[in-house]
Amino acid sequence: MSALPPIERALKNVSSRYELVHAAAKRAAQLLERDEDIFVRGRQKNELVKKTCQAIVDIAENKVACLKIKPENNGE
């Protein structure tokens, strides 16, 4: 069974819940590109963890960065 992700800790590393959802979805997609299995071995207890939960753990532990790209002004 999958453990609950540390959402409150992850929220400290992003500016909003929306940004957390967006970043976690992108990270989960990166993890799914490695292989098609939806589970990955947990780093601490070596248990099976869903890649969506692992994505939030990675954000909470600052293992991935959430970059904010500002749009160009184009002279305005």
Q: What is the pLDDT of residues 3-56, one digit of tens each?
A: 678 899 999 999 999 999 999 999 999 988 887 777 777 666 677 888 888 899
49-75 residue pLDDT tens: 888 888 999 999 999 877 777 777 666
Do 20 and 10 form a contact (C-beta atoms < 8 A)? Answer: yes
Q: What is the pLDDT of residue 40?
A: 75
**pLDDT at residue number 67:** 77
Looking at residue 1, what is its pLDDT?
Answer: 46
| Residue 52 CB contacts under 8 Å (≥ 6 apart), including other chains | 5, 24, 28
Residue 6's pLDDT is: 87
